[in-house]
Amino acid sequence: MTDRHPATGRSPLRALSLFATTACMAAAVLPAHAAESLTLYTTREPGLIQPLLSAFTATTKIEVNTVFVKDGLLERVKAEGARSPADVLMTVDAGNLLDLVEGGVTQPVKSAALESAIPANLRGADGQWFALSMRARVLYAEKSLKLGNFRYEDLADPKWKGKVCIRAGQHPYNTALIASLIAHDGEAKTEQWLRGVKANLARKATGGDRDVARDILGGICDIGLANSYYVGQMKSSKAGTDARKWGDAIQVIRPTFANAKSGGTHVNISGASVAKNAPQRANAVKLIEFLVSDSAQSLYAQANYEYPVRKGVALDPIIGQAIGELKIDPLPLTEIVKYRKQASALVDKVGFDQ
C-alpha cells in the first residue's frame, strides 16, 4: 500500500525548501555521479520521501537510487533473490513492514544510534525493522461536542447511533486498530465492539479519512476515526478552500484504550529494514540512521505532518496546536500486528463494510 500526496497537502517545493534549511551546511552542488550509492525500494510516495533522501545525499554524498514500488514489494524482492539490488526496504503500515520480515527478505542490524533514537516498542527486538515516523489514529469530532476523555471502545456506545463516520474496516489503517483492540480486549469483545460501531454508522464505511471531516461539516455524522496527518493537510495554507472548511469544522481528540493501564493512543508507522542481500549494507544502515536524526525527524514533522519517533523533535505547529504531543500506546507493534489477519476476518464476519 502506498501513502498519498494529496493536492491539499504541502507541495514538494515547500518540502524541498524545508530540506534546504535543514541541510544548508551541505548545499554545495553535488557531482554528477556520487562516489557511493545505495538502492532504496519504497512504497512511499515520491513527494513525501524525496526531500529526506535529498537531505541524506547532501549530508553524506551517498546517492540514493530510488525504486518506487506501488504493489508487490515482498514478491518483487523474493523473485530477485540473491541478485536483488535493494539495500533498504521502506513501507507504510506496521503490518506491511512485518510482512517483509516474515517473508525472509530482511536482515538484522545492530546500531546504537537506532536503538537510542527509536523506542523499543517501535522497532524489532532483533533489529530486523525500524519505525521512522508515526501517524496516530485519532477522533475527529464536531467542534461543539464536550467529550473529555474518549476511549476507542466508546465508539460502540449506543448513544452514538447514526452519528459515526469511518472509512472501510478492511483498510489497513482500520485493521491495524482492530488488531490493537484484539490485543487489548480479546477477540470476543472486539467482535462485539465492531458490531456496535457498525450499528452506530451514519453511512456506509467507505471513502477516505478526510471524508470524515467533510461529513461532520455536512451534518451527516458527529464523530469518526482518521489519521492525524490529514489534520495538517486540511489546515495547511496550501489546502484548497473546501479542505480548509473541513479542517476548521472539527476538533481532534487523542483516544486511549479502556484496558490499557498506562493509557496511550494507537499509532501506525512508516518504517524501514535492511534488505537481506543488500549489496551496500553499510550505506543502507547509514540511511536508516540518518532518517532518525534530529534534522530528518524535523523534516518528517514539517513536510509530512507526521509524528517523529525521536523524542525532543518539534511537531509541525498545525499538529501541535490541533492535536498536541502524543502519548502512544505502549503495546509493542509486533504484539499488535500478529492479530491483523484475525482483525480482517472479524471485519468480514460482522459485515462491517457491507
Euclidean distance between CA atoms 193 and 54, whole angstroms: 45
How many CB atoms are located within 10 Å of the residue 226 CB? 26
Euclidean distance between CA atoms 16 and 25, whole angstroms: 15
Task: Give the containing element (helix H, strand E) for 131.
Answer: strand 130-142
Euclidean distance between CA atoms 10 and 127, whole angstroms: 33
Euclidean distance between CA atoms 29 and 52, whole angstroms: 17
Partners of 271 in the β-ladder: 91, 131
Euclidean distance between CA atoms 218 and 167, whole angstroms: 16
Cell 496511550, residue? 264
229 labelled as ligand-binding? yes
Cell 458527529, residue? 222
Burial class (CB in 10 A: 0-12, 13-18, 19+), 7: exposed
339 labelled as ligand-binding? no
- Type of residue found at 271: G
Given a contact cutoff of 8 angstroms between Cβ atoms, the answer to whether 61 and 35 are in contact is yes
- Reading the block at residue 327, the C-alpha cell is 502519548
Binding residues for Fe cation: 229-230
Residues tagged in the binding site annotation:
229-230
